[in-house]
Structure 1
Amino acid sequence: MTHFVLSGIFVYPVKSLAGISANSWPVTEKGFQHDRKWMIIDNNRQFLSQRKLPRMALIKTALTDQNLILSAPGMENLSLPLNPADGHIINSTIWHDQCDARSVSTEADQWLGDFLKRDCRLVYQPDEVVRPVDPDYANPADKVAFADAFPFLIVSENSLAALNDDMQLNLPMTRFRPNLVVSGCPAYGEDSWREISIGAIDFRLPKPCSRCSIPAIDPETAQIGKEPLITLNRTRKWQNNIYFGQNALHNQCGRLTVGDTVQIKSTGAKQPPI
């Protein structure tokens, strides 16, 4: 059995805002605790992301024992309770999913609207709300918060190193917004993984991650560039989509810590097959 190492943990409390790098983090039924528990929606109750509003990349997130803290250039920090009082139910749309959410506060809506320069609302997913994962790729018990589709995204360090070598650039891992980063494996080794364990938690990797325009957004400036999309179109394109990293589902709750052993339990044909 092949062994590698978990070298990075990233949590994104608010969908499409900046994430948090952590040394250790709890895993719940929906993925990392607090990962994409919150989401910003427009007046049509559609989710908003950096795809439409690159400026979202400039909003930093932090978590304390009691609060979610948002910060952005020119704005006073906004502190919100981790366990909000129940707000109004808002049936919100994430891609093709309809999902019940609850409003957070008019203060949060105003703060975000002022910075993003458009009307919007901050909502959260209560613990009791169940959003199932696509049954074509998941078990009936699998669930997810406000991530695009899966609780986890896995990328290996050497995959990014190979991509950077192809681009002759040095883009950071934060461009690709993974939850789990693995070191020690060959570049794109994760393309063939089907079942792995990290520490005491087992994962299934049913589907590669097709990439949108977000990796082209500099997370420090919100400026949009041409890379890595040009190179991914040349090197990682299949059936009119480009791929980088693997989506993952977990079989147990628990805790993950940087330095945990990653064991590859089963492999299959490369996905995507390139």
Structure 2
Amino acid sequence: MHLSSLYRFPLKSAAGESLQRCASDSLGLIGDRRWMVVAAGTGRFLTQRAVPRMALLRAHWQGDTALQLAAPGMPELLVSVPGDQLMRCVQVWNNHPVVPDAGEAAAAWLSEFLGQACRLVYLPEDYGIQVDLDYARLGENTAFSDGFPFLLIGQASLDDLCARVGRPLEMLRFRPNLVVAGAAPYAEDDWKRIRIGALTFRVAKPCSRCAIPTIDLHTAERSADSEPLATLLGYRKRAGGVFFGQNLIAEGRGLLEVGMPVEVLE
């Protein structure tokens, strides 16, 4: 088995970046989901669930200095990493971190493209959000993800799903960080600890799926037949939801690179 793909999502719910290698820090892949769009009035996070047009946003990590934003019909915008001059209380599910606001230019750009008043916020590594203590240790944090620092999907699992749906589906619809090739379909369901290169991960819990995988990455339109969620409902439904992929927590920091061997430890 080996790491066949590596993805980062600099802006939560925007398009992803395919990488050959990336280091990790205490929150996951460096640069992953460190930026987030929130409603201007409430500070609540916005995602493709309610704003499918976010699928068309392109956000490119520019290291520790900036984020490059692009979208159809919009001029590109370079947003500098904000300091702590303007702090904003935001909501990500049940968490309410106070984080730096990225300023008026970014807010105006995103508000125009998304058609609603919104703000852009940033999460420094030191502001990490505690992972649910039902699955994590105290001090194990994540960024603006839906709960965990890493998401893994087996390539064979997607291949099996595509065969059941009857058409190809992009892996990026499911927004994983790590894709593993060389295992049987859904083998990841039974893993408890794995090692990729020199970095060890605990498999925390299965990933419950929402409607985002039904959104076309290129048009931001929902599939008329509700696929692939409709098919997943037929064979991946368990108590608590429909599951596809596994949420992971890294035990330490390290470098991840496409091609690295993947070893199941438990």
- Name the TM-score class by shorter chain: over 0.9
1:17 corresponds in structure 2 to 14
**Structure 2: which amino acid aligns with 1:99?**
P
1:143 corresponds in structure 2 to 141
User: What are the superposed Cα offsets for residues 45-88 of structure 1, whole Å, 9 maximum, x if unpaired?
Assistant: 1000000000000001223344311100000001112x323341
- The 5 Å alignment of 1:23-34 reads 23-34=20-31
Count of residue correspondences:
262
- The 5 Å alignment of 1:27-176 reads 27-42=24-39, 43-65=41-63, 66-81=65-80, 83-176=81-174
Q: Is the 8 A contact 1:100 1:125 kept in 2?
A: no
Q: Is the 8 A contact 2:204 2:247 kept in 1?
A: yes
2:5 corresponds in structure 1 to 8
Provide runs of 4+ in structure 1 moved above 2 Å.
Answer: 63-67, 83-87
User: What are the superposed Cα offsets for residues 164-190 of structure 1, whole Å, 9 maximum, x if unpaired?
Assistant: 001111001011000000000000000
Find the aligned partners of 1:261 and 1:87 in 2 and give their Cα distance.
Answer: 44
Gaps of 5+ in 2: none
The alpha carbon displacement at 1:8 in A equals 0.6
The alpha carbon displacement at 1:240 in A equals 5.0
1:224 corresponds in structure 2 to 222
**Structure 2: which amino acid aligns with 1:18?**
A
The alpha carbon displacement at 1:253 in A equals 0.6
Of 63-72 and 38-47, deviating more is 63-72
**Structure 2: which amino acid aligns with 1:47?**
F
The alpha carbon displacement at 1:126 in A equals 2.2
Gaps of 5+ in 1: 267-274
Other structure's SS at 2:159 match: helix
Other structure's SS at 1:260 match: coil
Other structure's SS at 2:142 match: coil
The alpha carbon displacement at 1:34 in A equals 1.1
Q: What RMSD in Å do the two structures reach over aligned CA positions?
A: 1.0
Q: Is the 8 A contact 2:131 2:148 kept in 1?
A: yes
Q: Does 1:257 align with 2:254?
A: no
Q: Is the 8 A contact 1:58 1:219 kept in 2?
A: yes
In the superposition, the TM-score normalised over structure 1's length comes to 0.94
Other structure's SS at 1:128 match: helix
Find the aligned partners of 2:240 and 2:163 in 1 and give their Cα distance.
Answer: 23
In the superposition, the TM-score normalised over structure 2's length comes to 0.96
User: What are the superposed Cα offsets for residues 132-183 of structure 1, whole Å, 9 maximum, x if unpaired?
Assistant: 1000000112100100100000001000000000111100101100000000
**Structure 2: which amino acid aligns with 1:117?**
G
Identity of aligned residues (%): 41
